[in-house]
Amino acid sequence: MFGGGPLVPRGRLRDVAVLLAGDAAGLANPVTGAGIAAAVHSGRLAGQACASGRFEQYEEELEDVYRAALDRALARRRELLRSKLEKAALRRGWIAYPEYWQ
C-alpha cells in the first residue's frame, strides 16, 4: 500500500549467495529519496561480507545502522499520505524540520 523501507538484504540464487545493497535493499529514504550514502556504505559492507563469508553479519549490520531511521521515515511518509498534505504533517515529514525528529 505505501511501499518503501528495508528489505531482506541476503538470499541465494541456486548455490550462489546474493547480497542486496543501496536501493535494491530498500535503503533509500521513503520520504526524501536520499540514499547515496547508504548505497556506498552498504556496498562496502557487502564487499566485506563476501570477502569474509559472513553474510549474516551483513544483514545484522544493516539492521543496526539503518532500521530505526528508515522505520521513522516510513511512518512519516504514511502520515503525509494520510494527511492530505497539511502544513503540520509536512513539517513532521521532512528531515529539515525539528518536528521530524520528535
Q: For 23-74, write each residue's pLDDT tens digit.
A: 999 999 888 888 999 999 999 999 999 999 999 999 999 999 999 999 999 9
Residue 75, number of CB atoms within 10 A of its CB: 16
pTM (two decimals)? 0.77
Phi first, then psi, for residue 54 (nearest 5°) are -100, 75
pLDDT top residue among 64 and 99 = 64
Q: Record the cell numbers describing residue 51, joined without a space.
A: 570477502
Q: Is the pLDDT of residue 98 over 60?
A: yes
Q: Is the pLDDT of residue 2 over 60?
A: no
- pLDDT at residue number 67: 94
Phi first, then psi, for residue 10 (nearest 5°) are -140, 150
Q: How confident is the model at residue 3 (pLDDT cuts 50, 70, 90)?
A: low
Q: Is the pLDDT of residue 1 over 50?
A: no
